[in-house]
Amino acid sequence: MRKKLGLFAVAGLITLASTPSMAQFAKAEDAVKYREAAMALMGSHFGRMAPVAKKEAPYDKDKIKENVAVLNVLAGLPWAAYGAGTEGGEAKAEIWSDASGFKQAQDQFTTALGKLTVAADAGDFDAFRVAFGAVGKSCKSCHDSYRKKK
């Protein structure tokens, strides 16, 4: 219980600190580091669920719910770090030249994550697998369009 309360306290603080009005960066490279760190954390928590979705690890609904809850907090973080003048890092120039397309990709991710949240909250493995796949597709689609190839 204490662990969960701590997680929710940290989540609340991160959410408050990540609102666009507070997310100001002194230098473009600060924004790049911030958004790449947020994306790395999102990838970590998403990746922890991949073996479960692939049926390579047992389904533990509580662990899935915990990872999805963290994803919901992290999912709000990177977007404020894509403002004008923050070009660089692994982000393609199309993020700024196709702002509406980038916003649409962000919205698709948010919608897919919402469905993953519903499935995780319900403890429905089959719904989780479908929703997990949709989130993964939204990430891939955005990365294909807006992230430089490594």
C-alpha to C-alpha distance for 143 and 140, rounded to whole angstroms: 5
Q: Which residues contact 69 (CB under 8 A, 6 or more apart)?
A: 7, 11
Exposed / middle / buried, residue 63 (Cβ in 10 Å: 0-12, 13-18, 19+): middle
Is-contact 149 91, C-beta < 8 A?
no
The predicted structure's pLDDT at residue 14:
52
Q: Which residues contact 112 (CB under 8 A, 6 or more apart)?
A: 131, 134, 135, 137, 138
pLDDT at 141 over 90: yes
For the chain, what is the mean pLDDT?
A: 88
The predicted structure's pLDDT at residue 3:
54
pLDDT at 5 over 90: no
What does the block give as tokens for 31? 């924004």
Q: Of 2-6, 35-39, 74-78, 114-118, give the lowest mean pLDDT range.
A: 2-6
pLDDT in tens, 38-95: 999 999 999 999 999 999 999 999 999 999 999 999 999 999 999 989 999 999 999 9
The predicted structure's pLDDT at residue 148:
94
Exposed / middle / buried, residue 52 (Cβ in 10 Å: 0-12, 13-18, 19+): buried
pLDDT at 35 over 60: yes
Pick the CATH number of 2-146 from 2.60.40.1110, 1.20.120.10, 2.40.170.20, 3.50.50.60: 1.20.120.10
Give the mean model confidence (pLDDT) for residues 10-35. Answer: 67
The predicted structure's pLDDT at residue 49:
98
